[in-house]
Structure 1
Amino acid sequence: MSKRSYAQADPRAVSAKRSDRMRAVLSIIHDSESVSLPALARDLGVSSATLRRDLAALEEQGLLVRTHGGARALDTESELPVRLRDTQFHEAKRSIGQQAAAMVPPGPYAIALSGGTTTAELARALRGRAELTIVTNALTIAMECATSPQSKVIMAGGLVRSKSFEAVGPIAESIFHSITVGTAFIGVDGISADGGTTTHDETEARTNNAMVTNARRVVVVADGSKIGQVRFAKVADLDQVDDLITDPSADATELELIERAGVKIHVVEPVSER
């Protein structure tokens, strides 16, 4: 059974410790399909009361179903909640973001950023860059970039997805179709030689495709867990992608196949914060 990725969640803050525990709960339930509360408490070393709160929160987000005395798996193809994803593969995502920032040339330049935790790391790495125009449809990234007075931030509007905090649909697409940027940096849920770049939501995929279409260069930023994955909706074929930035955990065989399709591969080592 393939390793599960899980859907994005509501915007309530989740501590790093609780994030790790909730991911562990999801992993155990996914591997076992169902599990009892005493078994979870034993495996994770926490109280039953704490686990009941975690299970209630995860059920509310549609990630599992609570049963009498435990829980069972619901959907093996949903995405990880956005607040839980914030701490997942964080060092790899930060290094990928820094490498992507190094690809942005100095002087007047325009980029587009899709939503996602890896593109958010890129936004942080671009703080203080002068003469930079950033176009994004992600509320979280717009807020991150807006704290830098040296940059100009353009927010593409539309219907906001509560799961990802991205504006999607015809309004956002029309904005991306009306502009041209030097580079579009795209976060994806999957990239493979056979499937191209994909995501879980078809409306998000169409909006990101509009972002790709009017960019002179397209860079996909994806940690190793996304390599070789094919999700529900296609964003773009590989012949529309110029570069892929990932980390050493990516499947080497799949990277070679993607490279053969004409995509330049950049593998960056995760670097811990000091």
Structure 2
Amino acid sequence: MTFNPRQRRLLEHVRAQVTVSVEDLARQLSVTPQTVRRDVKQMEEAKLLTRYHGGVGLPSSVENIDYNQRQVMNSDAKQRIAAVVAARVPPACSLLINIGTTTEEVARALAHHPDLHVVTNNLNVAAILADNPKCEVIVAGGVVRNRDRGIIGEVTVDFIRQFKVDIGIIGISSIDSDGTLRDFDPREVKVAQAIIEQSRAVWLVADRDKFGRQALVRMAHLSQVDVLFTDAPPSAAMASVLEEAGVEVVVAP
């Protein structure tokens, strides 16, 4: 699922204005209302936008996009991000990797990396890296969330806190304009917070659509991140937030 430049501009307009009429979007994008409606319908199916009476707005901050949809959304961007991350991971390194479709792409990119020690609460990551004979995989205990095979809960948090690793690689659902990192499930958030605490360096992997999304639960702040790997240069306002937070930004080519 890939959006064209016009559709991305439409999404950016709605995120900036929160709610906006179809007619206003048509004027801002110099297209017909019919074109806007077609674009909005596609984005509504992807749960990126919601149609209201007479207008368009952001979807609920309570429910995430279905896992199967997230797997195919921006898949090329996630693969490019993952390749850059893998190139930066040194051999004989210890990693904590959390739940997310982008972190799963990172695992695929590490499929032949030598002498890795990986702790994860993501059964998909574990399965991918288990095929690497030069990688030791340690799977956290806890409750398996059936929709995406993520492992969550207080048992998971306690398990993660036994380790101190070189790099924590985390995905996220939302990056607010003030640099707040957010997600949807409080149990998943608690595990991610433990990963941040137990990592000597924190690498955040997030495609461009994570900027400005709405999600309910606060996880952390960009000031707790060392490196952000993404697929497009951040906006000027976000670049300022990242600079103030001291985050190195790596844009995948």
TM-score normalised to the size of structure 2?
A: 0.76
Deviation for aligned residue 1:85? 1.1
Which residue pairs with 2:107 in the alignment? 123
Segments of 5+ residues of structure 1 without an aligned counterpart are: 5-21, 35-72, 270-274
> 142-151 vs 215-224, which deviates more?
142-151
Deviation for aligned residue 1:147? 1.2
1:164-219: CA deviations, max 9, x gaps?
A: 32111111111111101100000001123525221111110001100110100000
Q: 2:80 is matched by which residue type in structure 1?
A: S
Which residue pairs with 2:51 in the alignment? 32
Q: What CA RMSD, in Å, does the superposition of the two structures yield over aligned residues?
A: 2.7
1:5-25: CA deviations, max 9, x gaps?
A: xxxxxxxxxxxxxxxxx9656
| Equivalent pair of 1:190/1:231 in contact (CA under 8 Å) | yes
| Equivalent pair of 2:177/2:211 in contact (CA under 8 Å) | no
1:206-265: CA deviations, max 9, x gaps?
A: 011001101000000000011234521122222221111111164342133222211111
Which residue pairs with 2:85 in the alignment? 100
1:63-85: CA deviations, max 9, x gaps?
A: xxxxxxxxxx9x63321111111
Structure 2: distance between partners of 1:260 and 1:24: 33
Q: 2:202 is matched with which residue: 218, 241, 263? A: 218
Is residue 2:58 matched to residue 1:83? Answer: no
Residues 256 and 164 of structure 1: is their aligned pair in 2 closer, same or farther, counting only changes over 3 Å?
farther
Segments of 5+ residues of structure 2 without an aligned counterpart are: 1-13, 19-40
| Equivalent pair of 1:225/1:249 in contact (CA under 8 Å) | no
Residues 261 and 25 of structure 1: is their aligned pair in 2 closer, same or farther, counting only changes over 3 Å?
closer
Match of 2:72, SS? Answer: coil
Residues 86 and 252 of structure 1: is their aligned pair in 2 closer, same or farther, counting only changes over 3 Å?
farther
Structure 2: distance between partners of 1:186 and 1:29: 22
Deviation for aligned residue 1:267? 1.2
Structure 2: distance between partners of 1:81 and 1:159: 19
| Equivalent pair of 1:197/1:230 in contact (CA under 8 Å) | no
Residues 174 and 257 of structure 1: is their aligned pair in 2 closer, same or farther, counting only changes over 3 Å?
same
| Equivalent pair of 2:233/2:251 in contact (CA under 8 Å) | no
Q: How many residues align?
A: 214
Structure 2: distance between partners of 1:151 and 1:237: 31
Which residue pairs with 2:238 in the alignment? 254
Residues 167 and 23 of structure 1: is their aligned pair in 2 closer, same or farther, counting only changes over 3 Å?
farther
Structure 1: distance between partners of 2:109 and 2:15: 32
Give the share of equivalent positions with the same residue, in percent.
Answer: 30
1:15-50: CA deviations, max 9, x gaps?
A: xxxxxxx9656259954348xxxxxxxxxxxxxxxx
| Equivalent pair of 1:199/1:232 in contact (CA under 8 Å) | yes
Which residue pairs with 2:3 in the alignment? none
Structure 2: distance between partners of 1:29 and 1:250: 19
Match of 2:187, SS? Answer: helix
1:135-184: CA deviations, max 9, x gaps?
A: 11011111111111110000011012223321111111111111011000
Structure 1: distance between partners of 2:243 and 2:179: 14
Structure 2: distance between partners of 1:147 and 1:29: 34
Is residue 2:168 matched to residue 1:184? Answer: yes
Which residue pairs with 2:134 in the alignment? 150
| Equivalent pair of 2:46/2:65 in contact (CA under 8 Å) | no
Over 6 Å off, 4+ runs: none
Which residue pairs with 2:6 in the alignment? none
TM-score normalised to the size of structure 1?
A: 0.71
Structure 1: distance between partners of 2:186 and 2:112: 34
